[in-house]
Structure 1
Amino acid sequence: MNGLELSPFIKALPKVELHVHIEGTLTPALRWKLAHRNGVKHPYETYGDQLDLWYSFPNSQDGVTYNHRKEVNGDDGCPTFLEAYFAGCQVLVTEDDFYELGMAYLERCKELNVRYCESFFDTQTHLERGISHQDVMNGNLIFCFLRDRPLSEGLASYEAARPWARLADGTGKALSHAVGLAANEFEKPPLLFEEGFQVAGKDDAADHVHEAIFKVCGGEETERIDHGLNALDRPELLTGLEEREIGLNLCPYAYYRRQATEVLFPKIKKLIDEGVNVCINGDDPTYMHDVWMDDKMQEVYTYCGLSKADMVKMVKRGRAIFWVDESLKTGLPEEMDTIDMDN
């Protein structure tokens, strides 16, 4: 992790994770196991060197990295991040596979002292392979529309997934609590999916943030914005985030692949200083240098020059944007008050 050592304070700090794609936690070991269990063919003859290489593009010593956007950069022979991500999804076939993936992530949360998490998932990635809604939905939380697929397809998937949601009339399994967007955002702003948000609720990146704050569903329905570092590009976006009490779920490694340490972390620090409710998250850790929540928090703590009190305050503020009943939010603040600031 860039030579940083995990401090006892960060290790002990109770953490929350509000933006993590469950498929992005699929480790090489579990991928290998599920591929063999399900008879899924892949180009790797051995578990070690060949499979690990697919995960190691961002770590390559020769400078090779994921091609962020082939539609912009051209095809240089390297996979995009999403190609690597979706290739891993192919081994998820049965309900047991999704359960095992989810439980493996929760076991990692226990190790990292992540006290509360909300995982993202989408069904469209899996439906096209003949996987049922039931197999994907059981045990997931935040339903995502894929930006690079037609809205009509997303709406059909959402309708099929509604029995697993917490519905306004009190019915449903209450396993899925919200909707969001995933996949490639290029030329796919949030307003294209407004119909989906309206159903569920009853171009540059800064433009996307502006739409989410002020335009989607009349500017009244957005409770959180994920990523959103480009809010710094326009003063009115910072004002809108703070005045409307919209949380900003930042995933440092979504930017770290393309921005230097000395560029990225002062931006995150400025968001915090401006009063934005920033929550740090893992996103897709196995495909992003295999850096998980504790390491990401350590980087923010170190490179943003934050105090221990700042870190505790940031985690406490994240409680305001949990998508759970108020009765389930009570434990974390008391636990935070017991943190040893001298550690």
Structure 2
Amino acid sequence: MDPPIPYPTLQSWKQQIRSTPDPFIQILPKVELHVHLEGTLTPSLRFALAQRNNLPLHSARLNKTFTSLPDLESAYNLLQPRSIKGVGLSAFFEAYYGGMEVLQSEQDFHDLGIEYFKRAKQMGVVYCEVMFDVQAHTRRGVEIGVLMRGLESARREADELGVKVNYIMCFLRDLSPEDAMMHYEMALPYREMIVGIGLDSNEYGRPPLLFDEVYKRAREDGFKLTCHCDVTQKDTHEHIRQVACELGGTGADRIDHGLDAAEAPELVEIIKIKRTGMTLCPWAYVRHHKEENVFGYVRRLFDAGVLVNISSDSPAYVESNWVVDNLMLLKIKGGFTDDEIVKVQFNAVDICWAPKSLKAEMREKIELFLKKMQRK
């Protein structure tokens, strides 16, 4: 099936963004709240880790073993095929979960984290809340302590770079609620590393309230709550309503994606009144929506007063479109002004889960940036 937005059009957008970088967006202090750490696994790092761990790189979907970096890079071209919305493994999920096989040791997880954090620093990101999929690693035989110690050492190094990091532990939606609860309890010894919990992976036929027990437990234990609501997914409006109103007892603190709420004014009003944050990743939607929907819906939510954040999702698997690329796309195709891009960053500070003192520091950095820009 052809993508709703033709592939050559997407390529032209990418070329426009890369050929005319925007200094304002490049140096604006940024907050990223929806990025999957495993989704930042670049072909070069994946290839290096495979060599370190003496592992073959194979794609069942492509029926191919990759023996060179250029070969592997070609497999990351996932914008062209439209993702499956239903049962089965989509091209994205096959690549995303397949890539994780190279992550074996504490050092591997550290290297994955610090590569993203160094890139985040270069992009002007001052704070990020990074998702990770604990079950995707334990089911491969990786002990949870190996994962968590690697992530913690990367976070400490990021702090030295000036990038503040918190982690969100996500459960895999296509596994059982009982498995989610088991992994929640396994992770409790590392709770100081984890600011909140989330729910990702294949959403088809898996409403959020299936996992209400673990969400209520997490709420009682003081964790923040978020949940994916994928675009153009079956029952997406009902899933958004459950997340906004019921999950965890009174609704989650944030909704990841949830773009299609813009089609339902009653949902928009609920999200606005409850001040539920929304993390949107425009490049992730171009395979599923028409152009007027991708940008029209973001605009509709923003103009309605919804607290919208713009992030990158799994940038390594979306033709290397990182947070700056998502903000640029919002500007060139969504018509967002510099002032509106700044408002998006202030929104992100409001809905992030950092301590109040750190939020104050982030606001101060943005305000100082604006003063410097006004003097130029």
Q: What TM-score do the two structures reach when normalised by structure 2?
A: 0.82
- Offset, 1:46: 2.8
8 A Cα contact 1:6 1:294, kept in partner: no
Matched, 1:119 2:149: no
- Offset, 1:233: 2.1
Matched residue type, 1:151: P
Matched, 1:37 2:48: no
Rounded to whole Å, the distance in 2 between the matches of 1:213 and 1:70 is 23
1:149 equivalent among 167, 171, 175:
175
- Offset, 1:66: 4.9
Change in CA separation of 1:257 and 1:11 when aligned onto 2, cut-off 3 Å: same
8 A Cα contact 2:261 2:267, kept in partner: yes
Matched, 1:283 2:313: yes
Indicate the residue corresponding to 1:19 in structure 2: 34
Indicate the residue corresponding to 2:81 in structure 1: 65
Matched, 1:184 2:202: yes
8 A Cα contact 2:171 2:200, kept in partner: yes
Indicate the residue corresponding to 2:68 in structure 1: 47
Indicate the residue corresponding to 1:215 in structure 2: 246
- Offset, 1:342: 8.3
Matched residue type, 1:20: V
- Offset, 1:326: 0.7
Rounded to whole Å, the distance in 2 between the matches of 1:51 and 1:342 is 46
2:354 equivalent among 298, 311, 324:
324
2:366 equivalent among 314, 336, 339:
336
Change in CA separation of 1:239 and 1:42 when aligned onto 2, cut-off 3 Å: same
8 A Cα contact 1:69 1:80, kept in partner: no
The CA deviation string for residues 40-82 of structure 1, in whole angstroms up to 9 with x for no partner, is: 2223343233211210132xxxxx51542363xx89xxx5211
Matched, 1:175 2:193: yes
The count of residues paired between Structure 1 and Structure 2 equals 324
User: Once superposed, what is the RMSD of the aligned Cα atoms?
Assistant: 1.7
Instruction: Among all aligned residue pairs of Structure 1 and Structure 2, give the percentage whose two residues are the same amino acid.
Output: 36
Which consecutive residues of structure 2, in runs of 5 or more, have no partner in the other structure?
A: 1-13, 59-64, 153-166, 221-233
The CA deviation string for residues 13-53 of structure 1, in whole angstroms up to 9 with x for no partner, is: 11110011000000001000111111222233432332112
Matched residue type, 2:291: T
Matched residue type, 1:149: L
Indicate the residue corresponding to 2:326 in structure 1: 296
Change in CA separation of 1:309 and 1:101 when aligned onto 2, cut-off 3 Å: same
Indicate the residue corresponding to 1:83 in structure 2: 94
Which consecutive residues of structure 1, in runs of 5 or more, have no partner in the other structure?
A: 59-63, 166-173
Indicate the residue corresponding to 2:260 in structure 1: 230
The answer to which of 204-213 and 301-310 deviates more is 301-310
Indicate the residue corresponding to 2:224 in structure 1: none
8 A Cα contact 1:9 1:341, kept in partner: no
- Offset, 1:222: 1.2
Rounded to whole Å, the distance in 2 between the matches of 1:97 and 1:330 is 34
Indicate the residue corresponding to 1:171 in structure 2: none
Q: What TM-score do the two structures reach when normalised by structure 1?
A: 0.90
8 A Cα contact 2:246 2:252, kept in partner: no
Rounded to whole Å, the distance in 2 between the matches of 1:318 and 1:45 is 39
Higher helix share: 2
Matched residue type, 1:164: Y
1:137 equivalent among 131, 137, 148:
148
Indicate the residue corresponding to 2:105 in structure 1: 94
> Secondary structure of the residue that 2:102 maps to in structure 1?
coil
Rounded to whole Å, the distance in 2 between the matches of 1:304 and 1:253 is 12
> Secondary structure of the residue that 1:3 maps to in structure 2?
helix
Runs ≥4 residues deviating over 4 A: none
Indicate the residue corresponding to 1:170 in structure 2: none
8 A Cα contact 1:70 1:80, kept in partner: no
8 A Cα contact 1:229 1:268, kept in partner: yes
> Secondary structure of the residue that 1:90 maps to in structure 2?
helix
Q: Following superposition of structure 1 onto structure 2, how do residues 240-259 of structure 1 map, counting pairs within 5 Å?
A: 240-259=270-289
Matched, 1:7 2:22: yes
Change in CA separation of 1:258 and 1:153 when aligned onto 2, cut-off 3 Å: same
Rounded to whole Å, the distance in 2 between the matches of 1:49 and 1:327 is 45
